[in-house]
Structure 1
Amino acid sequence: MTKPERNRNSALRVAARNLKRSLKRQQALRRRRRSPARFIGVTGSSAKSTTVTLLAHILAARGPTRMQVFHNTYYPVVETMRLLTGDESYSVHELGAGSDFFREAAQMIAPDLAIVTMISMEHRSRFKTEENITREKAQLVEALRPGGVALLNGDDPWVMSMADKAEARQAQVVTFGQGEGLTYRAMRIQAAWPERLRLTLEWPGGTLDLQTQFVVGHFWLPVTAAAAAALELGVPPEIVAERIAQVAPLQSRCDTLEVPGGPSFVMDTAKAPARTLGLSLDLLRTARAPYKRFVLSGVSDFGGSNRRQYSDVYAQASEVADEVIILGERAKHARASDEDIAAGRFRSFADVKSLTGYLKETARPDELILLKGSAALHLERAALAFREEVACWQEKCGRNHPCHDCLALTSGYSPKAVKRQRDSSFHPRDPKNPLFRRLEG
């Protein structure tokens, strides 16, 4: 084939792909316009997925609910809209930053209720400043339907700066958080391993005690946001409390694996931005366990020197953990003292496989092990190996979803198998796909 022919074929493929996308977009917009559902959009730097999952589960008690979670950019929004059947009561969408089409996705959702959880420097590499992140996330509030509701984190000044944009849409501003004077206020927050998070929600309609399955205190934020949104949408308080108590932690977002007669793991392995590491360490600080270990596979979105970041993390972790383990070459930046190294309070390993072997050799009854890392490194395998024989120790497989249900976990890594699983995990019409679910009852 000549070069002109290759160029012509390539141009035809691009044109066909663009036409297909345009047709999908038109179908999505048509189904969105015809849907009688109430649409909810959730954005923020953290707590989006848990808020969406909690809220969708609550709303499903009142009517069929469409949920889009984890995949949170423009094309997943399009695919979710295309799945609308016209009988849904609610449609709940997660919208993340980093897409070139954030505004288009927000406008397609055109939410009746927009939730903004928090703003933090978890997108430093792309946005550089909180101002830029706020500007991006505020586009969801700007897309509110006139007369809608903006549910904003009243403890976060960056989020509250979006209130004027809501008012410009003639939308009602409702606040949640822990501070005085907020519409929905989380009070008496308690979480100390092995107990699960519980809190009391106060709002103009009364008080509501909420018991959850979460093991870390900072999950009060998505719990409060979801409860407040449900109450704003008219769900009775008793149903809100009942449904929240049923929701387990999402995979790799502080979910647990408890080994009979052995250790308990908390897997916080979805992401590891520098500014949120302290929240994870709070679990170890308050936990009641005879021995505590903290395992870190990396720090992201820190800016500046990684030497300083790792030494700071080690200093914080060593105050709350009996043993601190850091993976990879950057472990040397922890600057652990010779005394800590000799006493076994600090250890380092090259990869997850060698770490897992060490944990199996040294496991203690009733100890607590907190795993912290980014999704691409799949640190959760160190815990899952206590559940079943792990055959995949690939350092980076290209799949950013948890290993819990990956076929390669027990059958072994192969590029083709992981690619098939990665592709199928995005396919919205797969009935087993948890990311584009229709929830009922």
Structure 2
Amino acid sequence: MIPMTLSEIATATGGVLHTTDGSPTVTAPLAFDSRHPAPGALFACLTGALADGHDFAAHAVAQGAVAVLAQRPVRAPAVLVPDVLTAMSDLARTVHRHYDGTTIGITGSAGKTTTKDLLAHLLAAHGPTVANRASFNNEIGFPVTVTGVRPDTRYLVLEMGARGKGHIQTLCDIAGPGISTVLGIGSAHVGEFGSREAIADAKAEIVRALPATGTAVLNADDPLVTAMAREHAGPILTFGTGEGADVRATGIGAVEGRPFFTLRHHDQAAPVQLALHGRHNTTNALAAAATALAAGVPFDTVAAALPEARMTTGGRMAVTTRTDDVTIINDAFNASPESVLAALDALTEVGRGRRRVAVLGEMAELGEASTAWHRRVADAAARAGLARLLVVGTGEDADTLAAAYTAATGTAPDRHTPDTVGAAARSLLLPGDVLLVKGAHALGLDTVANQLLTV
């Protein structure tokens, strides 16, 4: 963190000092896990459904935290505030005001975390970079990330999630971006927003938050995203696969599921072979490349760094081959309809010439479109030529998925709960198989996939 004394933090948060004279200096980001605060951190005593951070304040300080943010006196040096979550945002806002590097915001219905990880790699090749850990893109993780900037940080990459109108604007009020990247508008959370157009309007808040000199980086392949150019009078940079995109990919193909293409920008061109699997990651790579170029990273640096970029966050197209030659594709962190279809395509490519198995969980928050989407996924699973399909879930959506797959293939899938599917999958895998695990985050299939990594 940009160093701040406890007195300065109290001023920023409207808090009062408790058992401290205010002189100690916080030098590390906010922390909310008392077991692993970075030395010099400020521990936030958040209250959750299962635990109260106030009970762990003393332990956090013993583990290296300088002090804590708390709503009541604790047995540790503290800044006492009316509300810890609000204080975290207030502190992050103050830190960001003192930050003079480039702030980049990323949003979209799918691909945010992948693009963030790729972009962080590209930027780090050009200067010190701070980015969200995992998917810390909400009101808790966002302030933690912002307070991670240091005096020498050149780039701050902020993934921004939204579950309703105004959510992204609230995050932008904490740390306004100088570059805003919008990936695409899908069907994730359409049940909450009501329509893809409503989702687009909420995502466009990241473009509206730009200063006049800021740059909007927009997906030229998505009409709902390109329309956001109307929201910004400043520079626009587009990415995509069509001729009209400023940063584009041509000659797209794949080798064992890993995409390759020629990256182009103006008269510059370079061949790229991604380390990631899945052709859909071509779009995420283009978004990362375009954003890095908008941030001033030279084209040659981007082209050289992109093939070396890896996911640092698990559960997104993580492909691992076991000692018995079984390949596990863990794409189970979450499941929008578009991402499930892309994952099934990736399974087909990675598993070409091999026996293919899929564990598919029901999808959530799709509203009235849920039945249609589960039928469409079932049809895609049928076209994937699966040896076995295991459907996870006990609700109507899982019933729809199973029934539609049965109708398309004449074979009923196996039905399981999250507790039983791991053992079932393990029992049917044969050497050389390729297994995809994909489902809504609430099902916890990421844990199942990780358990299957060992023989």
Q: Same fold (TM over 0.5)?
A: yes
Alpha-carbon distance, 1:48 to partner:
0.9
Paired residue for 2:428?
Answer: 362
Partner deviation per Cα, 1:209-232 (whole Å, 9 max, x = no partner):
222111111011110011111122
Paired residue for 1:225?
Answer: 287
Paired residue for 1:252?
Answer: 315
Equivalent position to 1:154, from 220, 223, 245: 220
Matches within 5 A, 1:264-303: 264-287=327-350, 288-303=352-367
Paired residue for 1:175?
Answer: 238
- Aligned equivalents of 1:119 and 1:150: distance in 2? 16
Instruction: Tell me the TM-score normalised to structure 2 length.
Output: 0.75
Relative distance call for 1:227 and 1:350 in structure 2 (3 A) is same
Task: Specify the SS of the correspondent of 1:186.
Answer: strand
Does the CA contact (< 8 Å) of 1:141 and 1:165 recur in 2?
A: yes
Paired residue for 1:197?
Answer: 259
Task: Specify the SS of the correspondent of 1:74.
Answer: coil
Question: Bigger relative contact order, structure 1 or 2, given CA contacts below 8 A and separation 6+?
Answer: 1
Letter in 2 for 1:326: V
Alpha-carbon distance, 1:180 to partner:
2.1
Equivalent position to 2:119, from 55, 59, 63: 55
Paired residue for 1:238?
Answer: 300
Letter in 1 for 2:333: A
Relative distance call for 1:109 and 1:285 in structure 2 (3 A) is same
Higher mean C-alpha displacement, 257-266 vs 320-329:
320-329
Alpha-carbon distance, 1:104 to partner:
2.4
Task: Specify the SS of the correspondent of 1:175.
Answer: strand
Higher mean C-alpha displacement, 347-356 vs 113-122:
347-356
Letter in 2 for 1:221: T
Paired residue for 1:102?
Answer: 168
Higher mean C-alpha displacement, 285-294 vs 152-161:
285-294
Alpha-carbon distance, 1:308 to partner:
5.0
Does the CA contact (< 8 Å) of 1:328 and 1:348 recur in 2?
A: no
Letter in 1 for 2:290: A
Partner deviation per Cα, 1:200-256 (whole Å, 9 max, x = no partner):
111114112222111111011110011111122222333223322223333111101
User: Are residue 211 (structure 1) and residue 257 (structure 2) matched?
Assistant: no
- Aligned equivalents of 1:134 and 1:201: distance in 2? 27
Relative distance call for 1:387 and 1:101 in structure 2 (3 A) is closer
Does the CA contact (< 8 Å) of 1:292 and 1:368 recur in 2?
A: yes
- Aligned equivalents of 1:241 and 1:154: distance in 2? 20
Does the CA contact (< 8 Å) of 1:262 and 1:363 recur in 2?
A: no
Letter in 2 for 1:74: E
Paired residue for 1:404?
Answer: none
Task: Specify the SS of the correspondent of 2:317.
Answer: strand
Task: Specify the SS of the correspondent of 1:36.
Answer: coil
Alpha-carbon distance, 1:360 to partner:
2.5
- Aligned equivalents of 2:85 and 2:372: distance in 1? 46
Does the CA contact (< 8 Å) of 2:118 and 2:310 recur in 1?
A: no
Alpha-carbon distance, 1:22 to partner:
5.3
Relative distance call for 1:131 and 1:315 in structure 2 (3 A) is closer
Does the CA contact (< 8 Å) of 2:102 and 2:156 recur in 1?
A: yes
Relative distance call for 1:314 and 1:135 in structure 2 (3 A) is closer
Partner deviation per Cα, 1:144-193 (whole Å, 9 max, x = no partner):
122111000111111112112111xxx2011111122111111122225x
Paired residue for 2:438?
Answer: 372
Does the CA contact (< 8 Å) of 1:352 and 1:381 recur in 2?
A: no
User: Are residue 166 (structure 1) and residue 232 (structure 2) matched?
Assistant: yes
Paired residue for 2:143?
Answer: 78
Q: Specify every segment of 5 or more residues in structure 1 that has no aligned partner in the other structure, as ranges.
A: 1-11, 390-441
How many residue pairs get matched?
371
Higher mean C-alpha displacement, 297-306 vs 27-36:
297-306
Structure 1 segments (4+ residues) deviating >6 Å: none
- Aligned equivalents of 2:225 and 2:406: distance in 1? 41
Sequence identity of aligned pairs in percent? 27
